[in-house]
Amino acid sequence: MRTWVRGLGGKEALASVLVLLFGACALANGAPIPHGTLELVAENPWVAAGRQFNLGLHFQLEKGWHIYWVNPGDSGEPPRVEWRLPGGITVAAIEWPTPQRFQSSTIVDYGYEDEVLLIAPLNVDAHLGQQASIQVGAAVKLLVCSHEMCVPGKAELSLTLPMRPDSHAPDARNGDIFAATRKSLPRRMPANWRLGVSQTSDSFVVTADLGHPIAGRTIRRAIFYPLVESQIENAAPQNLISQASGFQLTLRKSDQLVNLPERLKGVLVVSFGSSQPDQAYSVDAPIKHAAPLSPGDVKKRGPALGIRQNGQSLPIQSLKEEPQI
């Protein structure tokens, strides 16, 4: 340490120490993880028996470092959480905010940088009303990466919350980040939108009909984030075509796609123009078959998909008829 400080000029050394100090302050309150901190936070200052409450895993990362979405993309792995909960408390699936793309060379990953809150809703049994407080905890394993390297980390977190019979009041300190995070969760598509997914031999084609002409409200950008690994080629360009009342987005099938999925699931982020914020929508749509030659051919024709091995095409599982949207 001494050599390092001596190696720098006086001002630089002071500046470095200040950066270290303020960097540490900015990341206070959480358990240390590689290149950041992780804190278990509650949306409300107490919990009530028989009601739902929300916990959050609040990740704060140094500049240039990221963690991963539930589908990490071409590399990496999502944080894995083991909840430590007393009897009578159950946890639902984590609500994953819309991720970002991290591209380096031909590799595309999905994740979060700077700061992210992963919200988990919990249910409290009505019979727990007798207790004065509850202790909840989480053991988290995660991978933190920059474009240059990856570092594994883990953290044991716990939180004691008082039980009160009455309903929630928002916590002054944490209420805001829960509210802000909810804005970045993908939402349901507007009721008048119609989304269809068809396929060609090498692509999925997502067609969105917004139910009205979109003249003057051009779709500037649309990006699909696949919820399931190995369905689309993450690094392939997603080709957007504007149509009179919507748009079409072509997604290249993954080279690792062996069994054709029945549904396309993920998040579709649409940008309507510079003055409006991007909108993120949840997608869960059946994938249509290739059009049959004649009605009688439906059962005989399989989709043109399969991976070749030694020049032979491998069989793939047959598909059930799916209703079309």
Kindly identify the residues of this chain, within the stretch 215-254, that bind another protein according to CB under 8 A: 229-230, 233, 235-237, 252
Tell how far CA 311 is from the center of its chain. Answer: 38
Report the residue number, 149 or 244, with the smaller CB distance to another protein.
149
| Beta bridge pairs of residue 134 | 161
Q: Does 318 help bind another protein (rule: CB under 8 A)?
A: no
Contact (CB, 8 A) for 28 and 22: no
Contact present, 7 and 30 (Cβ < 8 Å) = no
Size of the site for another protein (CB under 8 A): 36
Burial class (CB in 10 A: 0-12, 13-18, 19+), 87: exposed
Beta strands 66-73; 221-226: pairing state: unpaired
Q: Quote the longest CA-to-CA distance of the chain.
A: 84
| CB 107 to another protein: min, Å | 4
d(CA 292, CA 314): 21
Which segments of the chain does DSSP mark as H helices, in order? Answer: 2-7, 10-26, 175-183
Residue 256 engages another protein in binding (rule: CB under 8 A): yes
Q: Any contact of residue 80 with another protein (CB under 8 A)?
A: yes
Q: Measuring CA to CA, which residue among 274, 266, 268, 230 is closest to residue 249?
A: 268
Question: Looking up tokens 């799916």, which residue turns up?
Answer: 322
Q: For residues 240 and 237, what is the distance between their CA atoms, to the nearest angstrom?
A: 9
CB of 193 to another protein, least distance (A): 31
Least distance from another protein to the Cβ atom of residue 192, Å: 36
Contact with another protein (CB under 8 A) among 17, 180, 258, 293: 258
Is 300 an interacting residue with respect to another protein (CB under 8 A)? no
Smallest distance from the beta carbon of 222 to another protein, in angstroms?
19
- Told to check if 82 binds another protein by CB under 8 A, we report no
**From 2, 188, 308, 320, residue interacting with another protein (rule: CB under 8 A):** 308
Query: Applying CB under 8 A, does 150 fall inside the site for another protein?
Result: yes
Q: Which residue has the tokens 């594994």?
A: 152
> Which of residues 50, 86, 152, 213 is near another protein by CB under 8 A?
152
Print the binding letters for residues 90-119 with another protein: x by CB under 8 A, - otherwise. Answer: --------------xxxx-x----------
Q: Which residues bind another protein (CB under 8 A)?
A: 74-77, 80, 104-107, 109, 141, 143, 145, 147-152, 229-230, 233, 235-237, 252, 255-256, 258, 307-312, 314
